[in-house]
Amino acid sequence: MALEEAKFRQVTIDAVHLDLGPLSGVVAEALLFSYQIACNGTPLEGSRLVIREVPIEVYCPACKTRKTLTSMQWFYCPTCGVPASEVIHGKELMITGLEVRDERRTTLAGSA
Amino acid sequence: MNAEPRLLEVRKNVLKQNDQIARVLRDRFRNDGIFVVSLVSSPGAGKTAFLEKMLTFLRCKYRVAALVGDLATENDAVRLARSLAPVRQINTGTLCHLEAAMVERALNGWEIGPLDFLFIENVGNLVCPSSYDLGENLRLVLLSVTEGEDKPLKYPTIFNSADVAIITKIDLARAVEFDEAGLRANIQAVRPGMHCYSVSAKTNFGLQEVLQFFVDRRSEFPQLDPALRSGL
Ligand SMILES: [Zn+2]
């Protein structure tokens, strides 16, 4: 699992914020461990990986609304019990933010 | 020198590159009229034996081929070649799963002519393959009767990413006191409505139903005018 953000050359990255869903197929501890290794020798060396775990949200066809599941082993609406396999959230493996410090080009507008 | 820390908001899917390649592959398969079935399982679940039978039976009426992902050896490809269908090995090296780019690379430069079905056998692993779209139309997760009925509860993510569950080695069910109803209930818990077939590659039990399912799914597949196929 490799995470690169090499295009932000003008800044120092202190931390990478990541949304992680239980259905991403990636386990947080494994990711944290491999992150350190993957960052060694790159501009990201010494940065932190901040993981926000996203709960599984499904669409319930009976309630006609989104519901948060309490277990990834039970894909049924927690309110009405109807099968709910349409996943809206929970597959995320998404970088959501970077904590940065400008080093040289202080006049450069950083936000995209 | 300004060293004020600040937060840059970005939204970057880590697997975006794989998803993009997978989308291109899926479009290409549709244009070429190829129905693509991928297989995932633990090591030793009987994926290769099952696939060998699928290729052997389908080959009588359809143009079929298989890509096989493996860590290092070529045993699976050699075994599948007995079906007389074209088989190509993808050595993943140390990588425990296939990625769309590897499928793309294996297909480029493989002169097999037009196909009706392409099978992609993933590396034996129930964790990592779930994150990687390969552009397939149908993803099968295989598990054998010897693996325990709680496997879907232990690996809900792979079941959630798959379309069909295949219970293999059903000929051994009695000997290992396999609880088929229990396993099917667990599959439905993590993936309500999932199609589930029990098969034996040894006795051929249940294989016809699976073949019929593939053929039916392929016929629902949006078919283009053959003249527009990019292969012609
Ligand atoms: Zn409901």
B 178-197 residues with CB below 8 A of A? Answer: 188-193
pLDDT value for B129: 93
Maximum Cα interatomic distance, chain A, rounded to a whole number of Å: 57
Q: How many domains does chain B have?
A: 1
Q: What is the pLDDT of residue A1?
A: 38
Rg from Cα positions in chain B: 19
Q: Which two tokens stand for residue B3?
A: 């060293």
Are the Cβ atoms of A95 and B10 closer than 8 angstroms? Answer: yes
- Burial class, A75, CB count within 10 angstroms (exposed 0-12 / middle 13-18 / buried 19+): buried
Q: Which residues of B touch A112 (CB under 8 A)?
A: 8, 10
- For residue B116, give the 3-state DSSP assignment: coil
**Is position B227 within any domain?**
no
| pLDDT tens per residue across all 112 residues of chain A | 334 554 555 678 899 999 999 999 888 998 998 898 888 888 888 899 999 999 999 999 999 999 999 999 999 999 999 999 899 999 999 999 989 887 655 444 444 4
Residue B2 in any domain: the answer is: no
Helices B100-107 and B16-31, packing angle to 10 deg: 40
Distance of CA A94 to the CA centre of its chain: 4
Q: Which residue has 């073949």 as its token pair?
A: B211
Pick the residue with more confidence: A101 or B103? B103
**Distance of CA A69 from the midpoint of ligand 1 (Å):** 11
- In a domain, residue B46? The reply is yes
pLDDT of residue A106: 46
Q: Which residues contact B146 (CB under 8 A, 6 or more apart)?
A: B169, B172, B176, B178
pLDDT value of position B166 = 98
What's the confidence (pLDDT) of residue B4?
75
Inside any domain, residue B1 = no
Per-residue confidence band for B232, with pLDDT thresholds at 50, 70 and 90: very low
A66 close to A88: Cβ distance less than 8 angstroms: yes
d(CA B223, CA B214): 15
Closest CA to B28 of B108, B97, B102, B109: B108
Domain for residue B176, yes or no?
Answer: yes
Rounded CA-CA distance A91/A22 in Å is 7
Contact call for A96 and B10, based on CB within 8 A: yes
pLDDT tens digits, residue range B61-91? Answer: 999 999 999 877 767 888 888 888 999 999 8
Task: Calculate how far, in angstroms, residue B11's C-alpha sits from the geometric centre of ligand 1.
Answer: 30
Q: What is the largest CA-CA distance in chain B?
A: 75
B229 Cβ contact partners less than 8 Å away, ≥ 6 residues apart: B31, B32, B33, B114
pLDDT tens, position by position, B189-224: 999 999 999 999 999 999 999 999 999 999 987 665
Residue B177 Rama label (left phi>0; alpha psi -120 to 50; beta):
left
Rounded to a whole number of angstroms, the distance from the CA of A49 to the nearest CA of chain B is 13
Of A97-101, B93-97, B130-134, give the range with the top mean pLDDT. Answer: B130-134
Q: Higher confidence at residue B111 or residue B103? A: B103
CB contact under 8 A, B193 and A83: yes
Taking the C-alpha atoms of residue A86 and residue A95, their distance in angstroms, rounded to an integer, is: 23
Type of residue numbered A51: I
Average pLDDT score over chain B: 91
CATH number for the domain including B209?
Answer: 3.40.50.300
CA of A83 to the centre of ligand 1 (A): 8
Averaged over B134-157, what is the pLDDT?
A: 96
List the domain range (segments joined by +) for residue B191.
Answer: 7-222
pLDDT-derived band at B230 (thresholds 50, 70, 90) equals very low
From the list B5, B129, B152, which residue is nearest A99 (CB)?
B5
Note the pTM of the prediction, 2 decimals: 0.88
Burial profile A7-18: b = 16 or more Cβ within 10 angstroms, e = fewer: eeeebbbbbbbb
Whether residue B139 contacts residue B161, with contact meaning beta carbons closer than 8 Å, is answered with yes
Is B228 domain-assigned?
no
**Within a domain: residue B89?**
yes
pLDDT: is A94 or B5 the higher one?
A94
Least Cα distance to B149 among B126, B167, B124 occurs for: B167
Question: 129-168 in B: which are within 8 Å (CB) of A?
Answer: 129-131, 152-153, 156-158, 160-161
In a domain, B111, yes or no: yes
